[in-house]
Amino acid sequence: MTAVCALELRRLNKSFGGMTVVKDLNLSVSAGERRAVIGPNGAGKTTLFNMISGWLQPSSGAISVGGKQVVTGRPDLLAREGLARSFQQNMLLNGLTVLENLRIASQALDASRRSLLRKCGSFDSVIALARAAGEQMHLGSVFDQRVQELSYGHKRQLEVAIALCGAPRILLLDEPAAGASPSERERLIGLLRGLPRSLTILLVEHDMDVVSAVCDKVTVMSYGEVLATGTIAEIRSNDRVRQAYLGGVSHA
């Protein structure tokens, strides 16, 4: 595969008050790559995702998507460039059904949503996209259930499906398996592995089973900086990583 850069971060920084939580961070992810971002709590992973997806304005630095530098701090513009994310905290509308949640997400991401003169038929494509995203995450059987009635595993699947509603080219997943039971986690792994290989995935995940099943490469963050990037085997045998992070956890 030619190494087209799907996502490139150059010297990205984020400070809150006097505290710098992401420091001069450089990252390149090739098109179609599945990259994990791991690191101890507080390493800056969610802050990084918030900046990449436009929810947080970087203090400085540049983000390029598909080789083109994008305006930072604008989730709408980044979504239009093909970037979607799931959230670590549950952002689902509990009183609505699964399909309604998906429909709202796909409508919000639809370029023609602001046109009052749109043809009624144009809503069909929004609903088709919502259904397709839900079916990709095997939610077809629960489309008419309210979110509050769903199992925890189905909720996590729905969060990923909502991110898929904009037919993204790059998908950012922040701990999609957090809190899931072993069987729910296995199902999620299978679904993530089944997504089209053209989709670039950036995954923040603590669970190394999920990382090794889904990702080709791992970037390790510590105190806002990249400590190492490599294959899972390389990362596991990297002394700096072992000292800073993996040394203290049993799955290393």
State the binding partner of 250 from ligand ADP, Mg ion, none, CB within 5 to 8 A by kind.
Answer: none
The least distance separating Mg ion from the CB of residue 188, rounded to whole angstroms, comes to: 18
Cα–Cα dist 181/78, whole Å: 33
Cα–Cα dist 91/156, whole Å: 10
Which one among 5, 15, 21, 82 touches ligand ADP, defined by CB under 6 A?
Answer: 21
Q: Which residue has the tokens 């790559």?
A: 33
Given the complex with ligand ADP, which of 110 and 175 has the nearer CB atom? 175
Question: Does residue 250 bind ligand ADP (CB under 6 A)?
Answer: no
Which one among 44, 58, 134, 176 touches ligand ADP, defined by CB under 6 A?
Answer: 44
Cα–Cα dist 150/169, whole Å: 28
The least distance separating Mg ion from the CB of residue 45, rounded to whole angstroms, comes to: 5
Extract the tokens encoding 99. 């399909």
Question: Does residue 101 bind ligand ADP (CB under 6 A)?
Answer: no
Q: Which long-range contacts (CB under 8 A, 24 or more apart) does 17-26 make?
A: 20/59, 20/224, 21/47, 21/224, 22/47, 22/48, 22/51, 22/58, 22/224, 23/223, 23/224, 23/225, 24/61, 24/225, 25/61, 25/221, 25/224, 25/225, 25/226, 26/226
Question: Does residue 86 bind Mg ion (CB under 5 A)?
Answer: no
- The count of C-alpha atoms lying within 13 angstroms of the C-alpha of 67, restricted to the half-sphere facing its C-beta, is 4
Which one among 1, 2, 18, 41 touches ligand ADP, defined by CB under 6 A?
Answer: 41
Q: Which range in 44-52, 138-146, 181-189, 192-200 contacts Mg ion by CB under 5 A?
A: 44-52
Given the complex with ligand ADP, which of 41 and 250 has the nearer CB atom? 41
Cα–Cα dist 203/225, whole Å: 17
Given the complex with ligand ADP, which of 42 and 247 has the nearer CB atom? 42
Question: Does residue 153 bind ligand ADP (CB under 6 A)?
Answer: no
Which one among 46, 101, 219, 238 touches Mg ion, defined by CB under 5 A?
Answer: 46
State the binding partner of 238 from ligand ADP, Mg ion, none, CB within 5 to 8 A by kind.
Answer: none
* Count of residues that interact with Mg ion, criterion CB under 5 A: 2
Cα–Cα dist 67/214, whole Å: 25
Contacts with ligand ADP by CB under 6 A lie at 16, 21, 39, 41-47
Contacts with Mg ion by CB under 5 A lie at 45-46
